[in-house]
Chains A and B, each alone.
Chain A
């Protein structure tokens, strides 16, 4: 199993550009989520999904969109990048929540100029 994979590893955008961060998992997990981590801080939940076709907002959803058309993929779209979105983005998946272990991807380091 590859686990949770994320692409790209690094990305530089200009203010106002849009892009999609990719996340895929091959563990048949129902639950997937996106977090961002700013320097020296813990992770904050952006959006999450409890199954294909179902998404919901986390703590910091503004400026981001998600969709979940398949169990395996959960892309995160930045609509119009801003310098405040400079961060490291982590995708995670799990069988369920509450008591389930979450598996994290390696992260995407995004810089917005």
Chain B
């Protein structure tokens, strides 16, 4: 199954945009790119997902490279509530396309 690579941690200032990168060089043509985040002591929460085209929703934007080997989650204005671990995930094709979580990126937001 394809794996993802993310930086361990990133810092941002409040009210500034944040770009969280993810590499997935072994992605297959049918793999969706998912982003989830996990706030302290909570279960993961869906953020956004996409296949080939860039995606926008109320929480974030997802920019997918043309070759699909990398993607970037964009938070347009970071708030203190956005401090969390962000996971970039591809699906486990040999397990019903369930999700496999890597280590994620811990985002710290400074006031």
Contacts and interface: CB of A to CB of B under 8 A. Distances in A.
Range, interface on chain A: 20 to 34
Range, interface on chain B: 20 to 34
A48 B95 CA distance: 8
B46 A97 contact: no
A50 B96 contact: yes
Most buried by A among B32, B44, B102, B103: B44
Chain A interface mostly: strand
Interface stretch (A62-70, A77-85, A102-110): A102-110
A98 B43 contact: no
Interface of A: 4, 31, 33, 35, 41-45, 48, 50, 56-59, 90, 92, 97-99, 101-107
A106 B103 contact: no
Contacts, number: 64
Nearest to A6: B43
Interface string B47-74: 0010100000000000000000000000
28 contacts: A31-B96, A33-B98, A42-B101, A43-B99, A44-B100, A44-B101, A45-B95, A45-B98, A45-B99, A48-B98, A57-B95, A58-B92, A58-B98, A59-B92, A59-B100, A90-B43, A97-B91, A97-B96, A98-B30, A98-B91, A98-B97, A102-B36, A102-B46, A102-B99, A104-B44, A105-B43, A106-B42, A106-B43
Contact of A56 (B43, B96, B100): B96
